[in-house]
Structure 1
Amino acid sequence: MKLDIFTEMQSPRPWSEDHEHRIIQNTLEQAKLADRLGYGCWWQVEHHTGEEFSYSSAPELMLTAIAQHTKAIRLGHSSVLAPFNFNHPIRVAERAAFLDHLSGGRLELGLARSTIPEWRTFNIPPDRTRAQMQQTFEMLPKMWTQERFSWKSDELDIRNVPIVPKPYQKPHPPLWQACSSLASFEQAGRNGVGALGVTLWAPPEQVKEWIGIYREAIRRCERPVGAFVNDQVAFFTFVHCAETDRQAMENGAAAAAAWYTNGSFTFFEAKEHFLKTFAEEQALLNDPAGGGLTGQFLRERAGKSPATTRAQAIIARIMQGEEVPNEEVFEGLREQDSLIVGSPETCLRKMRVYQELGIDRLMCFQQVGRLPHEAVMDSMRRVGALIPELDRA
């Protein structure tokens, strides 16, 4: 299992006058350190109007800067928001190809549907997001490998145009899909692209189900969207490593994990998101055509009531608007092995859990909440020392 870095570029209040400049410079310093330490890939999100939660509103620019200050680490855009009002597919192809050249062929490109508040801000119909992302997946490899490109659908009419430049990597950079439901893991597998998931609120048993759906879907993939199959699963979770377990807590790990949990459920309007996901799964469950692997899995699971974990109960309370104390949120997440916090020995033991689940890349989410920049850098160094233990290659 390779160890990567995942970043949102967070800057919680209270703010100083230079807080925006500082988070950008800190991110660059962390990326340079990750390159020296041997992390596999630097994953940069795309979010808009995120305020405290995410300053990564122009990730292609941040990744370009990182490319010019690093030598070996791969650069992951996780992920381009694919609905057309965010990013026209031609612009996605052009920017990605430029970044691939500027980085010497180190780009990894993911696509995502985005979330309810961002759909609303950019005037995007929610029921079109999955189909538009699918179209972008099918268009990008053709734009990158064909001399001239055409596409006709209800929403796009592109007629025999040259898309330049072509990527530095041949035939094109690896493709990924951001996944947060059974249906999205199945879609990634059907497309033959890598799956980018999150373990922060999911117990290992649920992660294992997601991976199982993905592996079966990609095993059946006969027509990948790209020129090759990217059969990899990457998950991100909160990681903070210090000299001792106690020092990790004194650095503010519990407060950071709780702040991120509360902030993300507010920013993403998680209650509405979960309701939409539930409705989508019910439709697949009852689909006369079978609903694919997801529908089959849901029918097999019907009637079985998996035990609710303490963390899931806490998350349900948060979605109902309750203010749950930081310590309670952190303990619930730690109890179900959703977090990696503590000494190097503790972190390695917890990382082994993810390795045994079949995860190929663990995206270590280290710059979180109010954790000081110095503590983040120290954590990165300590986790970096564990890379040989997990990636024998």
Structure 2
Amino acid sequence: MKFELFQECQTATRDYYNRYWQMLKEVELADELGWDSYGMSEQHFTPVEYSSGCPEIFFTAVAMRTKKIRIRQGIVLLLKAVNHPLKIAERIGMMDIMSNGRMDLGTGRGNKLGMLKAFEVPLEETRQQWEEALEMIPKIWTEETFSWDGKFYHIPPTVVNPKPIQKPHPSLWTATTSPEMYELAGQKGIGVLCFDFTSPDKTAKNVEIYRKSIKTAKPVGSFVTNGVAILTMGLCAETTEYARRLAKEPMMAFISEAGRIYAELAATKVKSYQYMGKQLAEAAAHPEFEYLCDDATLVVGDPEECIKKLRLYQQAGADQVIIRMDGMPHQKQMDSIRLFAEHVFPALR
């Protein structure tokens, strides 16, 4: 099993300057200690909980300061008013060069009503826009001259450079939270970033849907990425009691904000967002931090406790676990990165 450090510049004080520089030190340490990958999502207009509107800029700094850790944009928004596929292909191509072939592309359509309204994205079109852009990007990377005539994009013959140095191209992933998206990702032959925000035994049911679907995949790219990366929030410390005390406030702040934005989209009655209402109802049944730790929705504790919880993710079908570690004191996160690498991961690899 592989492990990713995932961050979004969470800072209760809005001291983004210092938090970004702290994050660079944290990913440098993760690279040195053998974490497998580093990820950041594209999040707009949600101060405090998320401040990662331009992850590609941060990733370039990461690429210059690291040697081995893979870099996954998880996710870039495939929405016409936010990111044109030609620009995405160019950016990932250049970042793949600057990282010496360490880029992976995670995709999505957005989960915040405020962002979608600000960029004037029709809610009913987000799934279709994601699908069309996803079809385009690997072709842009692999065709010398690219052209396209679809519903949202009409592109004359165009030469797009630079190409990625990974051949045939970087792996493709998508954020998944509903059974429908797990099945669709499998059909398209791309990896899943499981952002269910629930216990691993519940995510396992969706993983089964994905594994079944991918057996008959018609990949959008040049190959099938058969991968399951499950998201959790984590912190490892010398004792479980101390880890929980450190993690409770920032993790619950994140969960509260996630609940708010899910509720906004569910309330729109747009069909493709109605699954969010079901997830909210399930989360509301057990909102307590201690319960979320006990059922392994959160991986917080001493090394033994973290191993026990991460084994549940392994049993749920995870090839990778994405550990969101953000919003807690910088030095405690540095300690946690080291404890995970030296005392937790060896028991699971």
| Residue in structure 2 matched with residue 174 of structure 1 by the alignment | 171
The residue aligned with 2:346 is 388
Q: Indicate the residue corresponding to 1:219 in structure 2.
A: 215
Q: Which of 290, 306, 325 pairs up with 1:347? A: 306
Contact in 2 for aligned 1:199/1:338 (Cα 8 Å):
no
Name the counterpart of 1:5.
5
In 1, distance between residues paired with 2:132 and 2:106? 14
**In 2 relative to 1, CA 279–138 (structure 1 residues): closer, same or farther, beyond 3 Å?**
closer
Aligned to 1:264: 258
1:221-280 CA distance string (max 9 Å, x none): 1x2000000000001111111001122133x212222111112223xx211334568944
Decide whether the 8 Å contact of 1:181 with 1:277 is kept in 2: no
Query: What is the rounded CA distance, in whole Å, between the counterparts of 2:200 and 2:128 in structure 1?
Result: 30
- Look up the match of 2:316: 357
Q: Counterparts of 2:106 and 2:308 in 1: how far apart (Å)? A: 29
Amino acid at match of 1:28: L
Query: Is the Cα–Cα contact under 8 Å of residues 141 and 163 in structure 2 kept in the other structure?
Result: yes
Q: Per-residue displacement from partner, 1:317-346 (whole Å, max 9, x unpaired)? A: xxxxxxxxxxxx202312322111110000
| 1:228-377 superposed matches below 5 A | 228-250=223-245, 252-266=246-260, 269-274=261-266, 279-280=271-272, 311-314=283-286, 329-367=288-326, 369=327, 371-377=328-334
Secondary structure (helix, strand or coil) at the match of 2:136 reads helix
Task: For residue 72 of structure 2, give the secondary structure of its aligned residue in structure 1.
Answer: strand
Matches within 5 A, 1:45-194: 45-115=41-111, 116-194=113-191
1:312, CA displacement in angstroms?
3.8
| 3-state SS in 1 of match to 2:264 | helix
Partner Cα separation in structure 2 for residue 225 and residue 198 of structure 1 = 22
Distance 1:282 1:3 in 2: 31
C-alpha contact 1:5 1:42 (8 A) present in aligned 2: yes
Taking a change above 3 Å as real, the CA distance of residues 38 and 277 of structure 1, as seen in their structure-2 partners, is: farther
Query: CA offset at residue 199 of structure 1?
Result: 4.6
Q: 8 Å contact 1:190–1:220 — kept in the other structure?
A: yes
CA RMSD of aligned residues (A): 1.9
- 3-state SS in 2 of match to 1:178: strand
Q: One-letter code of the match for 1:373?
A: H
What displacement does 1:198 show?
2.3
Report the residue type matching 1:185 in the other structure. Answer: Y
Secondary structure at the counterpart of residue 362 of structure 1: strand
Query: C-alpha distance in 2, partners of 1:349/1:312?
Result: 25
| SS of residue in 2 equivalent to 1:173 | coil
Aligned to 1:304: none
TM (normalized to structure 1)?
0.83
Determine the C-alpha separation between the residues in 2 that align with 1:67 and 1:139. Answer: 26
Shift of the alpha carbon at 1:282? 8.2
Aligned mate of 2:203, from 203, 207, 216: 207
Query: Contact 1:238–1:339 (CA<8 Å) still a contact in 2?
Result: yes
Q: CA deviation at 1:208?
A: 1.1
The change in CA–CA distance for 1:241 and 1:199 in structure 2 (over 3 A counts) is farther
Match of 1:77, SS state, is: strand
Q: Which residue of 2 aligns with 1:379?
A: 336
TM-score normalized by the length of structure 2:
0.94
Structure 1 residues 197 and 69, CA, compared in 2 at 3 Å: closer, same or farther?
Answer: same
Q: Secondary structure at the match of 2:231?
A: strand
Deviations 1:165-197 (A, max 9, x none): 111101100000011111111111111000001
Give, in whole Å, the separation in 1 of the partners of 2:268 and 2:105: 26
Shift of the alpha carbon at 1:314? 4.2
3-state DSSP of counterpart to 2:226: coil
Corresponding residue to 1:195 among 192, 196, 210: 192
Aligned residues: 343
Secondary structure at the counterpart of residue 164 of structure 1:
coil
Whether contact under 8 Å (2:189, 2:220) holds in the other structure is yes
Identity of aligned residues (%): 35
